[in-house]
Amino acid sequence: MESLAHALGEATSELAAAGVPSPRVDAELLAAHLLGESAGRVRALALTGAAVPVGFADLVAERAQRVPLQHITGVAHFRRLELAVGPGVFIPRPETEIVAQLAINAASALDPVRVADLGTGSGAIAGSIAQEVSGAEVFAVELSELACAWAARNLGPLGVTLVQDDFAVALSGHNGTFDVVVSNPPYIPTESVPRDPEVADHDPELALYGGSADGLRLPLAASTAAARLLRAGGYFVMEHAEVQAGSLKRILSADPAWRDVRTHQDLSGRDRATSAVRADVPSEGS
C-alpha cells in the first residue's frame, strides 16, 4: 500500500516537471479534495503513515496537463467565499481581492448603499461585498451565459441581483442611483497571449481580452457605464494591468465626469486598480 507521504513526494516532482508554479501545495490540495480534509490535515496525515486516497494519481496527471486546480476541485477561494467554478468562467485571482477591498471600504461607509459589479464572472467581487457589507443592495452584471450560470449558483444565497447583459447598457433603468460601481473587466491586449496555460487554454476569451491593441476598450467602456450608473459623489474602482495604470489615470483625469482619480497597488506593489469619484456633471445617456 502506497503511503500518502510518498505519493505527495512523487506528485510534487511530477507537477514541478510540468511547470506547475506551486507543485507541493497543489499536490496537497488535490489530496485534501479527495479526502474532504484541509491541506493542513493532509500534511498531518502524511506524517502518520496514512494511505494515499483512491484516484489521487489521476488528478495529479490532470493537473500536470495544466488543467486549473480549481477546475479539478470545482472550488475557488476568494476572501471569505468558497466559489463554485469550472469551464466557462474566469477563475478569480488573489490580486483582485484588493479591488474588492476598495469597493467594500467605500460601501461600508454608507447606509443604505447600492453597489453594481460590472462583469462579475463567478461573482467573486459582488459576493464579497454582499457578504461583508451589511444591508448592501448589490447588483452583478455578466454577459456570458456560462459565467452567469456559475454566478447564479454563487450569488443566489447571498441575495445579489444578477443581470445577464452587456455592462455598456445594463441597468439603464437605474442610472444615477448607485453609490459604488466596481469592475474587473477584460483588459489583456488583443495580440497578447497569456503565458500560463491555465489562463490561455482554460479561462474564457470573453473574460480576458480588452477588445483593442492596448486592451483598454472594455475598461473604458466600464468607466463610461460607471459614470452613467453612479450618483454624484459615487465611487468607482476598476482592476487593470500594471502597464495600463498611467493611461487610465490620464484618460479619467481628463474626463469631466470624474474627479479624485487615484492608482492603487496590489500586495505585490503593482499598479492594479484605478478609482475615481463621480463629479457633479451630467453624463451621456443619463
228 sits in which H/E element:
helix 217-229
DSSP 102: H
C-alpha cell at 126: 459582488
Q: Which residue in 271, 247, 221 sits closest to 118, CA to CA? A: 221
Assess whether 184 carries a catalytic annotation.
Answer: yes
Assess whether 90 carries a catalytic annotation.
Answer: yes
Catalytic option among 23, 154, 184, 219: 184
Please report, in range form, the residues annotated as the binding site for substrate.
Answer: 184-187
Please report, in range form, the residues annotated as the binding site for S-adenosyl-L-methionine.
Answer: 119-123, 142, 167, 184
Single-letter code of the amino acid located at 9: G
Please report, in range form, the residues annotated as the binding site.
Answer: 119-123, 142, 167, 184-187
Burial 37-72 (b: 16+ CB within 10 A, else e): bebeebbebbeeebebbeebbebbeebbebbbbbbb
Assess whether 219 carries a catalytic annotation.
Answer: no
First-to-last C-alpha distance (Å) of the chain: 69
Catalytic option among 90, 139, 178, 236: 90
Paired with 281 in beta bridges are none
The residues that are catalytic are 90, 184-185
